Amino acid sequence: MLKLSDERILITGGAGFLGSYVLEQLKKKGNSEIFVPRSKEYDLVEKEDIIRMLKDATPTVIIHLAAVVGGIGANMQNPGSFFYKNLMMGVQLMEQARLAKIKKFVALGTICAYPKFAPIPFKEEDIWNGYPEETNAPYGLAKKMMLVQSQAYRQQYGFNSIFLLPVNLYGPRDNFDPDNSHVIPAMIRKFHEAKINNKKEVILWGDGTPTREFLYAEDCAEAIILATEKYDESKPVNIGSGEEIGIAKLAALVSDEVGYKGKITWDKGKPNGQPRRKLDVSKAEKYFGFRAKTKFKDGLRKTVEWYLKNVK
To the nearest 10 degrees (0 to 180), the angle between helices 79-99 and 47-57 is 40
Q: Report how far apart, in Å, the C-alpha atoms of 21 and of each of 34, 65, 173, 221, 275 are.
A: 13, 11, 10, 6, 30
Does residue 123 lie in a domain region? yes
What is the Cα–Cα distance from 100 to 124, expressed in whole angstroms? 30
Q: Give the pLDDT of residue 174.
A: 94
What is the Cα–Cα distance from 29 to 224, expressed in whole angstroms? 14
Q: Report pLDDT digits (tens) over 164-204.
A: 999 999 999 999 987 778 899 999 999 999 999 999 999 99
Q: Please report which confidence band the pLDDT of residue 18 belongs to, taking 50, 70 and 90 as the band edges.
A: very high
Q: Give the pLDDT of residue 273.
A: 82
Label the pairing between strands 245-246 and 211-212. Answer: antiparallel
Q: Give the pLDDT of residue 241.
A: 97
Structural domain containing residue 107: 4-170+216-242+278-293
Cis peptide bond upstream of 172, omega within 30: no
Does residue 312 lie in a domain region? no
- Catalytic sites, residue numbers: 139
Does residue 286 lie in a domain region? yes
pLDDT of 73 > 90? The answer is no
Q: Report pLDDT digits (tens) over 268-300.
A: 998 888 888 999 999 999 999 999 999 999 999
Q: Report how far apart, in Å, the C-alpha atoms of 254 and of each of 191, 195, 261, 297, 301 are.
A: 8, 12, 11, 9, 9
pTM of the model: 0.94
Does residue 202 lie in a domain region? no
Q: Please report which confidence band the pLDDT of residue 312 belongs to, taking 50, 70 and 90 as the band edges.
A: low
- Cite the DSSP H helix spans in 158-258: 183-196, 217-230, 247-258
Amino acid code (one letter) for 89: M
DSSP codes joined into one string, 266-312: EETTS---SS---B--HHHHHHH-----S-HHHHHHHHHHHHHHH--
Share of the chain above pLDDT 70, in %: 99
Name residues whose C-beta falls within 8 Å of residue 310's C-beta, 6 or more positions apart in sequence. none
Does residue 175 lie in a domain region? no
Does residue 88 lie in a domain region? yes
Does residue 62 lie in a domain region? yes
CB count in 10 Å sphere of residue 73: 17
Q: Rounded mean pLDDT of 63-75?
A: 82
Q: Which residues of 151-167 are buried (b: 16+ CB within 10 A; e: fewer)?
A: bebbeeeebbbbbbbbb
What is the Cα–Cα distance from 146 to 64, expressed in whole angstroms? 10
| Structural domains in the chain (count) | 1
Q: Report pLDDT digits (tens) over 100-122.
A: 999 999 999 999 999 999 999 99
pLDDT of 25 > 70? The answer is yes
CATH number at residue 51: 3.40.50.720
Nearest to 147 by CA among 155, 136, 286: 155
Nearest to 97 by CA among 9, 1, 229: 9
Does residue 33 lie in a domain region? yes
